[in-house]
Structure 1
């Protein structure tokens, strides 16, 4: 956390802004002009409107509010935002390519698991990154030694530490930092700060004991089951629009049967809350947009060749979830359906991303298309965010965090309960 995010990442940005320990660029030209940084900062701040709140807090303006950045902000900016906002912003492409190597190192160091081969490759990439860093920023000049702090050398030890201690997400200090942050407001006396801290921890332990002893968890603001919709979500989903069903994937046609449209859904096992456009338009425009999704379908690679045999390939798509269809199929003896069956469909307006996967490469689209498709709700994999980049020909960049890396998500498990709740979609 401190090594990569609050030290090296911060130093890189200071170098690019020309504010690193009074040093100039030397023989290189890696500094990004101030007017470009103003645009980068504005795009960073505006991204908060189109990035779901489940991704974290709004990222501050990195040009005017960099002092407000936390380790969580640095992680999100460096991994998800910077690859888009720094593209074509340097004078020479080699500086962006060097940053992308650091971006790749960051992503791999926060993975949940590693292989020996993967660690060998990570070790080699870090060595190459440090060597290039010394060429670009240190330039082998005694006057530029401040560009090589101890944290730069410490990067070389990351693979060794992973081999000995396991994935960094199992032992990083985010949890302790957040706990310390919860204690700081308790310090009311400069003369006796430690007494204030001790009293705060004593009161927290006392409250937890009272809750457990008298079974008061249901009266406290406990962390609810992430798989069960909240009361607010249930009310939002209870506002349904009747829609006539023309045809379903089961092949039956009915003009008198009806289905209902819902506005929200949460992916199971503690997944993200997705808020369809119909819920966004329901007087909730101030809420951060969580309507764009990553979904996957099997597409026929030979669809353009009518006589060729089908070759179905799993393909990644992105689009805006308009609403959710909650359809009930009546019993049908022809298809051996003896009981009514409930089918959930997602009505999605697609984005032309040409099958790119934003977890693997930079993915853009200019606008949502006029094409709407109805897919199985289970095909939705994750909610995604967007960043508007560019001025002359602006386009949207996809922020997809559904990769195999850990996330800096904080929850209070001390008040968690095993309440048996029943909820519908």
Structure 2
């Protein structure tokens, strides 16, 4: 995939900015007017503050900081940032649609597993994309032959490589490049570079062998050990832990107390008045952060962890709830489906309920709840993304509904476009009663 990120995307940018091997547009209209690419670069750099660090490194200005744009950076730009910052920038929509087709194909290539239909879609998709590329940029002009380098032809073989070797994530060059990056500082001699590399590899391999042979992984670990400090964990919530700051019940406002009562009334199928009777406000406390275990995200509550100017926003999240498809029809039987929502995590509550037969609670119960302000979503045209122009209602949901962080990119009058990396391994699962 490096040929795509390091060559194809870069060449497209050079074509759009009129800097590709001194070629002109010919009969096309794909070069950006003066100042447009500067605005795109500035929008790319500005997006970093609202994209959590777990997504990727902070994106640099694509115009002013070309050295910082690695294959990894170009990959993220193609998949997530480009579809937003390029929207309505071309003089003819056909060029944007052509770019979007490439972005969707790369999304398809980066799946963890494929069906035969997926591979066929990749094969036919790249074939169609290359044909359209030739019409838009090569234009059957001998003078534009340099617009068709070997890397364009290489796209036609991606599907074959997947069938013959493995999914692209299992065979691409990112691990090798990172290893080469570790080796480069070890080269101190121009005359004997390979001896330096050999010594470096041997010196690193020997401690590893000793750790394995004698079980000294922890004793010989030179990395600084990270401690959770004061945190909160509960056996009923094995997928997450809560981290400071922590605030007492006196800091919970009446507004959010009411929202908690509504959530509990729904949970225990009773009235809000009954919940108020058995819910003691002294048994509610607030926490500042929640961390999903086993490789999940760390999410901040905006009320306790303010967003500093030099920090990246980690408060907007994806959460999933069961929604009754027949809610508007009283005569129909309830039919619940899992639906995704987006919003800002504003509060993290720990609520303790005493045992009571009225609510069907046999023992004291602890609940971890999330106070969220929902974002009102709408489709962002043909991109397959969603955008939000304003925030909607506030609600309290169980923490198990909170899935992961999302990113956002400012899109002018369209508000904020949501960047959701969620894959099948991160989706919530609802098991029906049997």
What band does the TM-score fall into relative to the shorter chain?
A: 0.7 to 0.9
Mapped pair 1:333 → 2:357: yes
TM-superposed CA distance for 1:59, in Å, is 1.1
TM-superposed CA distance for 1:66, in Å, is 2.2
- Determine which of 297, 303, 316 is the counterpart of 1:278: 303
Q: Which runs of 5+ in 2 are unaligned?
A: 233-241, 427-434
- Determine which of 385, 388, 396 is the counterpart of 2:407: 385
Root-mean-square deviation (CA), in Å? 2.8
Classify the secondary structure of the residue corresponding to 2:101: helix
What does 1:150-299 align with in structure 2 at a 5 Å threshold?
A: 150-212=150-212, 213=214, 215=216, 217=218, 220=221, 222=223, 230-231=228-229, 236-237=243-244, 239-242=246-249, 243=252, 247=261, 248=264, 249-250=267-268, 251=270, 252-253=275-276, 254-281=279-306, 286-299=310-323
Corresponding residue number in structure 2 for 1:396:
416
| CA-to-aligned-CA distance 1:330-354 (integer Å, 9 cap, x gap) | 2223444332222111100111104
Structure-2 separation of matches of 1:41 and 1:404: 32
TM-superposed CA distance for 1:68, in Å, is 1.9
Structure-1 separation of matches of 2:30 and 2:381: 27
Q: Which runs of 5+ in 1 are unaligned?
A: 407-425
Structure-2 separation of matches of 1:109 and 1:120: 11
Segments ≥4 residues shifted beyond 6 Å: 232-235, 357-360
Structure-1 separation of matches of 2:360 and 2:107: 49
Structure-2 separation of matches of 1:86 and 1:72: 19
| CA-to-aligned-CA distance 1:124-146 (integer Å, 9 cap, x gap) | 11111110001011111111111
Change (3 A) 1:124 1:319: same
What does 1:344-355 align with in structure 2 at a 5 Å threshold?
A: 344-354=368-378
Corresponding residue number in structure 1 for 2:238:
none
Check the 8 A contact 1:332/1:338 in 2, yes or no. Answer: yes
Higher RCO (CA-CA < 8 Å; seq separation 6+): 1
TM-score (norm 1): 0.86
TM-superposed CA distance for 1:317, in Å, is 1.1
Structure-2 separation of matches of 1:146 and 1:3: 16
Once the two structures are overlaid, the 10-residue window that deviates more, 75-84 or 326-335, is: 326-335
Classify the secondary structure of the residue corresponding to 1:68: coil
- Determine which of 373, 377, 386 is the counterpart of 1:363: 386
Change (3 A) 1:66 1:218: same
Structure-2 separation of matches of 1:224 and 1:115: 42
Classify the secondary structure of the residue corresponding to 1:270: coil
Once the two structures are overlaid, the 10-residue window that deviates more, 293-302 or 305-314, is: 305-314
TM-score (norm 2): 0.84
